Amino acid sequence: MTVFEIIKKDRPSLASQEAEGPRTGLLKTTHGTVKTPVFMPVGTRGAVKGTMPQQLREAGSQIVLANTFHLMLKPGVETIEKCGGLHKFMAWDGPILTDSGGFQVFSLSTINSTDDSGTEFASPYDGTKIKLDAAGATEIQNKLGADIIMCFDQCPAFDAEPKEQQKAVERTIKWAKICKDVHSNSKQLLFGIVQGQTDQQLRQDCAKELVKMDFAGYAIGGLSVGEGTEQMLRTVRFTAPLLPEDKPRYLMGVGTPADIIQAVEAGVDMFDCVMPTRNGRNALAFTKDGSIRLRNSAYTDDFRPIDPSCRCLCCTTYTRSAIRHFFNVGEMLGPILLSLHNIVFYHNLMDKIRENIENGTFAGWAAQALQSSAYARA
């Protein structure tokens, strides 16, 4: 069975001629086919914060992300297995992608130690010493049962010494082979992760070795960790063409609207980011006129919807004034409504991206969109 089918390719804008160009496609998984380019809401601990599965479906979500690292700590793999797997545990019948936990290990670098065999870290919950390696991360994901699982990788800090960056790439390649050998669930798609920070030679070396292993898809990892937007986009434009054209390309954890548009232009198909829900929980809403911060007193008597052009539950039911009130009195409905609205905003963006690629108008639309207030950085 063909896992990934490219439907349409379009040209990049004149300002991004070094980019490979955007494409639409179909990614086929056990729990359904995903239209790409796609944005995946993040449900780290088994739930997309502040939303119900039915709401996610109605918002346009095709696939969601969960995290191996956090789920293996709480509630534990055995509990999820007893429940019948991650889909049943999350009450989500669509595709799920699980990260391997490599980035979380990086973010907990003050309480872990890493060598060629894997990582040992102290649980952030109770301090228990836990060992996680490539084989273990893969076996856990096999048991969780997500449709797409990720290889265990090492994500060093963006300003790490060159020798440390080199070592991280060597380990990522070594661990990827272990993951491929251990992977035992034929219903799951295993993706490799290209590391190398902003060093083009390291990215090229890592991609070359991973492509030899013939994974179902490939991710570009280790970005949006402090290197800056221009360096990040330059690295994406360089790395994407190194990956097989007939396999899905996933840019991990990068997610401002402007970043997504430019990464699609570079040939990326999949995205995830906590930005829609995290900003929603902090009273920031994305709109066609730019982002707005609902705690501001300017919205005390503003009885308009968040975005008059949006048809989400938030915008068709509540006013800016009411939502500001919910936040200021600690009512949980405020974060719920803005999280949902922001997810809809992101899915609407992906709809526009796919539509313009299909119509052959992406270049002009992207150039105009990147100049608009709607997709300015929050």
For residue 6, what pLDDT is reported?
A: 97
Q: Evaluate if residue 161 carries a pLDDT over 70.
A: yes
- What pLDDT is recorded for position 19? 66
* 25 DSSP β-pair partners: 6, 36
- Give the per-residue pLDDT at 18: 65
Given a cut of 90, is residue 29 above it in pLDDT?
yes
Of the residues 99, 133, 153, 259, only one is catalytic, namely: 99
Q: What is the mean pLDDT of residues 280-309?
A: 97
Q: Which domains does the chain have, with CATH numbers?
A: 4-273 (3.20.20.105), 286-366 (no CATH)
3-state secondary structure 133-166: CHHHHHHHHHHHCCCEEECCCCCCCCCCCHHHHH
Q: How far apart are CA 328 and CA 125, in angstroms?
A: 30
pTM of the model: 0.96
159 is a catalytic site residue:
no
Q: Is the pLDDT of residue 73 over 60?
A: yes
368 and 81 Cβ atoms separated by less than 8 Å = no
- Is residue 181 annotated as part of the catalytic site, yes or no? no
C-alpha distances in Å from residue 167, one per residue of 112, 332, 363: 17, 45, 39
Task: Determine the pLDDT at residue 260.
Answer: 97
**Percent of the chain predicted with pLDDT > 90:** 84
Mean pLDDT across 56-77: 96
Q: Kindly report which listed range (96-105, 256-265, 289-298, 327-336) carries the lowest average pLDDT score.
A: 96-105
Residue 162 in tokens: 């060159």
Active-site annotation holder among 147, 269, 272, 307 = 272
- Per residue in 202-246, pLDDT (tens digit) is 999 999 999 999 999 999 999 988 889 999 999 999 999 999 999
Q: How confident is the model at residue 378 (pLDDT cuts 50, 70, 90)?
A: low
pLDDT for position 109: 57
Mean pLDDT of 26-46: 97
Position 348 pLDDT exceeds 70: yes
Q: How far apart are the first and last CA of the chain?
A: 41
Instruction: Report how far apart, in Å, the C-alpha atoms of 203 and of each of 117, 170, 220, 274 are.
Output: 22, 11, 9, 25
- Beta-ladder partners of 284: 293
User: Is the predicted pLDDT of residue 16 greater than 70, yes or no?
Assistant: no
Other Cβ atoms less than 10 A from the Cβ of 228: the count is: 11
Burial letters 247-281, b for 16+ CB under 10 A, else e:
bbbbbbbbbbbbbbbbbbbbbbbbbbbbbbbebbb
